[in-house]
Chain A
Amino acid sequence: MKYLQRNWRSRLLMTLLISSLLSILLVALDQSEWAAQVNAQGMESGNGGEHHKGNKSAVLMMILPILKVMILTGVPMFLTILLMKILITFKRFTYRRTQKIVSD
């Protein structure tokens, strides 16, 4: 792992330092009015799905949440790839059209 070991101490220290500072700032969120409001309201619909596992087999209970993560990650990924391809095609099309108009 020679690439990981290059200046790893200083790099890791800096990463830890920045991460710790940001984490402290994030922890301070619970002093906000928003946090007080959420705490006062309580969790309304927090873990609603937890109670419906009764009939599922153990294997399904293992696989389904992992499948859910893969779908929730994969679908936005493919949609973004599709959007990027459409944008690139559109850009090429408008570029060619402009070139044609200029040459005409």
Chain B
Amino acid sequence: MADWKQNLQQTRYVMDALFLLSFIVVSAPKATGVVLHEWLSVLFIVPFFIHILLHWNWIKSSLTRLIESRSFKERFSIVSCYLLYVWMLLVFVSGVLVSVSLLPALNIDLAIQDFWLKIHIQSGKLMMPMIGIHLALYWNWIKRFSKSMLMQGRGV
């Protein structure tokens, strides 16, 4: 298990698992409380960017593949990834604009608009099924690496 850092796919697997776990935690503000939710969301930017950096080559080639690919699944998957990225940014931006702890801590006094509150709540809720669909599109990869990581963990 310890040498997962030496393999790109395994590094992605471990980091994506942490990303998913942190997503579950930050998506439940009623469990953590709003203040902790806001600060954890700031930390959530780290696995978000790690996810992007670890899939850099995929991102680089995605536009070409979107144009050239004949597979509906691949094109759908690429478009859904782009959408998910913009959606994640929308949740971040609206979250910052309605923050009750983050901006005051930075001495920024901003009146909370109902528009951003509504956007943050609704886009955050929609984020969950979007992540679900994203996971489903890579289900075979997840299954394969879960098995291989498990076997590696048992020393098989």
Main secondary structure of the interface of A (DSSP, over half): helix
Question: Is A102 positioned at the interface, with any CB of B under 8 Å from its CB?
Answer: no
Residue with the greatest number of chain A CB neighbours at <10 A, chosen from B31, B90, B121 = B31
CA A79 to CA B73, docked complex, whole Å: 15
Question: Is A12 positioned at the interface, with any CB of B under 8 Å from its CB?
Answer: yes
**CB < 8 Å: which of A15, A41, A62 contacts B52?**
A15
The range of chain A's interface size is: 35 or more
Q: Collect the chain B residues with CB atoms within 8 Å of residue A62's CB.
A: 31
Q: Collect the chain A residues with CB atoms within 8 Å of residue B118's CB.
A: 38, 43, 46
Q: Collect the chain A residues with CB atoms within 8 Å of residue B115's CB.
A: 29-30, 34-35, 38-39
**Number of A-B contacts defined by CB within 8 Å:** 118
Contact digits for B9-28, partner A, Cβ 8 Å, 1 yes 0 no: 00100000000000011011
The range of chain B's interface size is: 35 or more
Q: Nearest B residue to A32 by beta-carbon distance?
A: B115
Identify the B interface with A (CB < 8 A). 5-6, 8, 11, 24-25, 27-31, 49-50, 52-54, 56, 73, 86, 89-90, 92-94, 97, 113-119, 121, 125, 128-129, 131-133, 135-137, 139
- Pull 24 A–B residue pairs with CB atoms less than 8 Å apart, ordered by A: A3-B5, A3-B8, A4-B53, A11-B56, A15-B49, A22-B89, A26-B86, A26-B94, A27-B97, A30-B116, A35-B115, A39-B113, A39-B114, A39-B115, A43-B118, A62-B31, A64-B30, A65-B29, A66-B24, A68-B28, A72-B129, A73-B128, A73-B132, A78-B136
